[in-house]
Amino acid sequence: MVMAVGNRTFLAERVQLIFSDSWASLPINLINAGVVALVHRNVLPLHVPLIWFLFIASVVGLRVALYLWYRGAPVSEANAPVWARRLMVVLAVTGAGWGVGGIVVMSMAPPIYQVLIAFVLGGMAAGGMPSLSRIFTAYLVFAVPVLLPAIVYFAYQGTELNISVAVMGTLLLGFLLAMGRRQEANIVNYMRTAEENRNLVQDLRREIAEREQAETRLRSREHTLARAQRIAQMGSWEWDIVNDRITSSRENNRLFGRDRDAPPYSYDTVLQAVDPEDRERINEIIKNAVAEGRAYSCDYRIRLPDGGERVIFEQADITCDDDGRVVLVTGINLDITDRYRAQERLRGAMHEAEAASEAKSQFLANMSHELRTPLNAIIGYSEILKEDALERGEASFIPDLDRINVAGRHLLELINDVLDLSRIEAGRTELFLESVELLPFLDEVVVTVQPLVSANGNRFTLDCPADIGEICTDVTKLRQILFNLLSNAAKFTENGEIRLQVSRFTDAAKAGGAEWVRFAVSDTGIGIAPEDLETVFMAFERSEAGRASRYDGTGLGLAICRYYCEMMGGVISVESGAEKGSTFTVRLPPTVREDERAGGVRAE
């Protein structure tokens, strides 16, 4: 607060003082101008003093108008500089009116009248100092135009008397300006001191009020804390290690089955309340924390005096003296009995769910095997019947047999996907590693998927360098990954472009600069909405566009791709947007190691 006052200039307050005090000086200006004009009416042409008087009267009128304007729009800190400049302009015009008018009259008046005019000008300059020096610049622009023309005039006359008058006028002007500067500084200091005193008084009153409020809040918070601890079933305590003295809050005493206002007790008293099975562990945790001077947290069971059991979560902090010795332990105890029991029930439910999931996976695996045998028979018999129909010329049966064959193959494909997924979830999927040259392998993939790509009028491009080299991985699973991605691209793209880009790159962020092989399948199809990107690799999840009736599928293909990539130490990602196409990127190590086969290494 003091610094803010020290930087202030109080311009608004000083402008206000000048306006309020200079109002009384306006009649004096008119009276002085009238007296001068009246005295010179017989020694000068009448129009000379009359014009001077009328000019002074006009200036007074201008000052009255400025004062009335100010009364209508009071000065503030924001517009104080503007009002100060307006005031200085009017004062400069007033001073020039007196000074220039005085020279005109003196040049035409007898010597005795010149002295009178010089006296009047000096009086005007001196009389304006008390009110105008609140802003020294305002007084400066008034006093200098009043006296300086007369000083120059007497000095120009050259006589000893006139030069003496000019010197005295100069000394008077210098004295008045010096006094004006000092008075401005005194006024600013006075205002600063007054405001500092007001601020000190306000701060003192505020501090007293804040202390009273703080005491009230403290008492209220003590009650609130006690209620909060009671509601949260949480107690607080302090352990004075030097005196082995533990002081508990009322709620903490209640948690341990003691009287709420029970007296302080020792560490052994607490330890005896701990369940015997947890006692040794808890004692070791606390003793080690105290010996090492660090905070600790733990949970344990306690035996209540009535034979009941309660589970407590304890968290504490350590306070050391200047020599680093632990002297105080402060902590809280939280009743987590309900949460502990809920966690026990949750763990039991999780075990049951895992067992159910394992049974489900085993069931799916077994059922998938059982379903594939009759489906293969249906597909085979449909093909045999089709051949018989062609031989007998019974062409009317062929469309129905084709529908049976297509439906059977589609169902077999779905069952194969479910079988693959169930194997993965059951942990029965293994990797069979072999080395293969990538370029011939990719040519085989292209030949296989080309009919699917062409079916919707799409163009297919393979972008792979000739020196791409070989990869040591599970070739069958890599082929299935690429088939799934390319068939999806062909399914969701019409009259567009599908591209498979293959490259090698080195990840500089990994130690030793790990090498990876990148497979990127991009298309110009319907794309995937941003809200579906997070779930696109989850089993049985399909994007909103993919749920349309024209696009068949179970939502298992991408999930299987993700599982296979992770099994081979890689990762799969997607970039897409609605109606902007999609790019699925698979990153695999060029050589799968034993740790990668366990899923221990992932491409970032």
Q: What is the model's pLDDT at position 283?
A: 92
Pairing relationship of beta strands 470-473 and 514-523 according to DSSP bridges: unpaired
Q: Tell me the torsion sign for CA atoms 404, 410, 413, 418.
A: negative
Report yes or no on 30 lying in a domain. yes
* Residues 50 and 91 reside in one and the same domain: yes
Among 170-179, 200-209, 275-284, 418-427, which stretch is predicted with the lowest mean pLDDT?
418-427
Tokens of 378: 């249906």
CA gap 567, 562 in Å, rounded: 9
Average pLDDT over residues 182-186: 88
* Residues 472 and 408 reside in one and the same domain: no
CA gap 422, 362 in Å, rounded: 7
User: Is the confidence at residue 499, as pLDDT, over 90?
Assistant: yes
Tokens of 579: 């109606």
CA gap 408, 379 in Å, rounded: 6
Q: Which amino acid is at 141?
A: V
* pLDDT: which is higher, 126 or 502: 502
CA gap 321, 143 in Å, rounded: 72
Pairing relationship of beta strands 459-463 and 497-507 according to DSSP bridges: parallel
DSSP calls for 531-547: GGTTTTTSTT---TGGG
* Residues 38 and 146 reside in one and the same domain: yes
Among 75-84, 275-284, 378-387, which stretch is predicted with the lowest mean pLDDT?
378-387
Average pLDDT over residues 234-248: 89
Q: What is the model's pLDDT at position 1?
A: 36
Confidence band of 523 (pLDDT split at 50, 70, 90):
very high
Domain that holds residue 294: 233-335
* Residues 157 and 92 reside in one and the same domain: yes
Number of structural domains (the chain) is: 4
Which helix (H) or strand (E) is 303 found in, with range? strand 296-303
Q: What is the pTM of this model?
A: 0.40
Tell me the sheet residues that pair with 311: 301
Report yes or no on 341 lying in a domain. no
Q: What is the model's pLDDT at position 604?
A: 39
DSSP calls for 177-193: HHHHHHHHHHHHHHHHH
Report yes or no on 342 lying in a domain. no
CA gap 246, 328 in Å, rounded: 10
Q: What is the model's pLDDT at position 4?
A: 45
* pLDDT: which is higher, 203 or 221: 203
pLDDT in tens, 105-149: 888 888 888 888 888 888 888 888 888 888 888 888 888 998 898
For residue 137, with 0-12 CB atoms within 10 Å meaning exposed, 13-18 middle and 19 or more buried, which class applies?
Answer: middle
User: Is the confidence at residue 522, as pLDDT, over 90?
Assistant: yes
Tokens of 102: 């005085």
* Residues 374 and 438 reside in one and the same domain: no
Average pLDDT over residues 292-316: 89
Which residues, including other chains, have CB under 8 Å from residue 580's CB and lie 6 or more apart?
Answer: 527
Tell me the sheet residues that pair with 312: 300, 335
Which helix (H) or strand (E) is 502 found in, with range? strand 497-507
pLDDT in tens, 535-589: 788 765 555 544 444 455 556 778 888 888 988 889 999 998 888 889 999 999 9
| Nearest in space to 13 (alpha carbons), one of 134, 133, 127, 128 | 134
Q: What is the model's pLDDT at position 542?
A: 52
* Residues 186 and 296 reside in one and the same domain: no
Q: What is the model's pLDDT at position 159?
A: 84
* Residues 481 and 534 reside in one and the same domain: yes
* Residues 305 and 185 reside in one and the same domain: no
Rounded to the nearest 10 degrees, what angle do helices 475-491 and 438-455 cross at? 30
Report yes or no on 357 lying in a domain. yes
Confidence band of 598 (pLDDT split at 50, 70, 90):
very low
* Residues 421 and 493 reside in one and the same domain: no
Report yes or no on 18 lying in a domain. yes
Q: What is the model's pLDDT at position 518?
A: 94
Q: Tell me the torsion sign for CA atoms 452, 454, 458, 464.
A: positive
Report yes or no on 36 lying in a domain. yes
CA gap 225, 555 in Å, rounded: 54
> Of the candidates 394, 426, 458, which is a domain's last residue?
426
Q: Which stretch, 33-37, 283-287, 377-381, has highest mean pLDDT?
A: 283-287
The CATH number for 247's domain is 3.30.450.20
Report yes or no on 559 lying in a domain. yes
CB 566 within 8 A of CB 504: no
* pLDDT: which is higher, 382 or 341: 341
**Distance, C-alpha 194 to centroid of its chain:** 43
Confidence band of 307 (pLDDT split at 50, 70, 90):
confident
Q: Which amino acid is at 304?
A: L
The CATH number for 374's domain is 1.10.287
Average pLDDT over residues 507-512: 59
CA gap 542, 556 in Å, rounded: 9
CB 514 within 8 A of CB 507: yes
User: Is the confidence at residue 188, as pLDDT, over 80?
Assistant: yes
Average pLDDT over residues 164-173: 88
Which helix (H) or strand (E) is 372 found in, with range? helix 337-392
Q: Which stretch, 12-21, 281-290, 547-556, has highest mean pLDDT?
A: 281-290
* pLDDT: which is higher, 5 or 468: 468
CB 285 within 8 A of CB 300: no
Q: How far is CA 456 from CA 408, 448, 555, in A?
A: 23, 15, 21
| Nearest in space to 142 (alpha carbons), one of 154, 131, 157, 152 | 131
Q: What is the model's pLDDT at position 421?
A: 62
How much is the mean pLDDT over the chain?
Answer: 81
Q: What is the model's pLDDT at position 217?
A: 76
Q: What is the model's pLDDT at position 396?
A: 78
> Of the candidates 290, 310, 335, which is a domain's last residue?
335
Report yes or no on 212 lying in a domain. no
Sequence length of the chain is 604
Identify the three-state secondary structure at position 248: strand
Quote the strand ranges of 171-232, DSSP E. none
* Residues 70 and 105 reside in one and the same domain: yes
Reported as half-sphere exposure (CB side, CA atoms, 13 A), residue 295 has a value of 8
* Residues 417 and 451 reside in one and the same domain: no
* Residues 9 and 137 reside in one and the same domain: yes
Confidence band of 230 (pLDDT split at 50, 70, 90):
low
Phi and psi torsions of 398, nearest 5°: -65, -45
Question: What proportion of the chain, given as a percentage, has pLDDT over 70?
Answer: 82
Q: What does DSSP assign to residue 327?
A: E
> Of the candidates 399, 426, 453, which is a domain's last residue?
426
User: Is the confidence at residue 468, as pLDDT, over 70?
Assistant: yes
Confidence band of 462 (pLDDT split at 50, 70, 90):
very high
